[in-house]
Chains A and B, each alone.
Chain A
Amino acid sequence: MPKTINDGDVIKTLILVFLFSCFPLFAQGVEFDVNHSAKNSVIFDSEAPFGTVEGTTDKIDGYLYWNGASVTDNSSFYFQVDLDALDTGIGLRNRHMRENYLQTDKFRYASLKGKIVKATQLSSGVFKVDVQAEMFIHGVTQNISLSGTLSKTGEKTYNIKSDYSVKLSSYNIEIPNFMMMKLNEVVQLHLNFNLQQVIK
């Protein structure tokens, strides 16, 4: 053992290391992951002259993070939806949607990645949140702003609700002519899902 380092110095170093790792000073924020045991839903609906098509799934995954007193401090989130899991109630229609419109073999997930830029308290534990995000569907990324409601549902759980209109052509999703009367160019997206705090 080299003579330059003695036991006293080693002990001092170890104490400092221990103290710094105990204090959640600068690094730790709070992270909430999608709670898979809760009832989550992602619904899109299209109302057209020849009928309404509604596609649903509960396969949403992701996280919400912030570091500070408000949800807007160092905010970041990422959520993704498995498009292969979308069900419109008719097997053949699901197949057409996956193969012809969404091409899920190339673009399996749709995602939303961004940050909360503004939070307004509506009532105790309920906030209207405005976000700036990148929405990714069918290989196309769009910068969007959208609003939602963030509600504290328990000690360590939150619920997020949001509605958004998606213009299919903005994401290069083409509706063939013979489907024009059956599908709306603009589909309404309804999100309602739940988060659980990750204990680090």
Chain B
Amino acid sequence: MRILNSKAIVLVLFAISAFSVSAQISWKPQEAPVELPLQLFHSPQSLNLPTAETLQKGDFEFEISHRFLPPVKNGSKDLYGLDGPVNMRFALGYAVTDNFVVTLGRSNADDNVELKGKYKLLQLKESFLPMLVGVQAGIARNTQTFGQVASTGRTYQYFAQLIFNTLIEKKFGFGIVPSYLYNSNIYKTDVQSSFTLGLNAQYYISTLVSVLAEFNPTVNGYLNRYNSAAFGVELETGGHFFKLMLTNNAALNSTQYLAGSDKSFSSSDWRLGFNITRLLKF
């Protein structure tokens, strides 16, 4: 009887001390993990088409872009297009919030000035097919037309785009950008409009280089002769994106490239072009 009881006491004491030793550190990780925004494509823009990416609130993004008008196949007499003439664009974007960017841009083609806004609507953080859905819309005024326009009102153009993006395994980016353009050709007697189904794809080879391509066929409405396509290379450094491309479409501003191309992609009427964007923080 006594042996049984002393054994019981020893067991109880052992249990207490064992319990106390294992309960020395009561700390458990407390901090809730930080919620990061979903980020897919690295740049807010493909070649001409937008991606659903926006900037951080307060950021500015400066863009300068060229499309060399003579096709590359004209050869050395036009320095493969570099001799020009050239369609150029410069633009300044500003992030009003983390999800909303406003951009003012100007192209020398018809002295088109455009004001557009891009809003990131949805973030879907799936592990395999994460998705971003955005919307972009804008208004443009062609301030120096070279031909006759029916009325001053016809110098204004409008556009709207839905942007669906995904990025697979952090390497393969895909975008679908259904687009609508109102007053596609300001010189036509009647107002034209166009629906296009923009498609873009990008493969991120390294932290510096990626390859990308775009196809923007007109599915309904007015088309200026040929569907647009482009392909090229993107270099990403700390703060800059350099895009070098070949494309049949020499237009840069949204209400102009969405109307289609004057030259054919399949006939290899490709032009050299580049976009340079720089992130600015003041």
Contacts and interface: CB of A to CB of B under 8 A. Distances in A.
Q: What's the dominant secondary structure at chain A's contact region?
A: mixed
B132 to A, nearest CB: 14
Nearest to B26: A198
Given A95-B39, A96-B238, A27 B5 contact: no
B34 A200 contact: no
A69 interface: no
Given A21-B16, A27-B20, A92 B26 contact: no
Contacts of B5: 5, 9, 12-13
Nearest to A85: B34
Interface string B97-124: 0100000000000000000000000000
A4 B24 contact: no
Interface in B255-282: 279, 281
Interface string A172-200: 00001011001000000000000000101
Interface centre among B17, B21, B25 (most CB of A within 10 A): B25
B205 interface: no
Contact of B24 (A65, A78, A89, A179): A65
Interface residues of A, number: 45
Contact of B25 (A31, A89, A90): A31
Interface of B: 1, 4-5, 8-9, 12-13, 16-17, 20-21, 23-27, 29-31, 33-34, 36, 39, 42, 55-56, 59, 98, 170, 207-208, 237-239, 279, 281
A4 B33 CA distance: 57
Interface in A1-55: 4-5, 9, 12-13, 16-17, 20-21, 26-29, 31, 33, 36
Contact of B30 (A17, A31, A36, A67): A36
Contact of A89 (B29, B98, B281): B281
A16 to B, nearest CB: 6
B118 to A, nearest CB: 15
Given A31-B25, A90-B56, A13 B30 contact: no
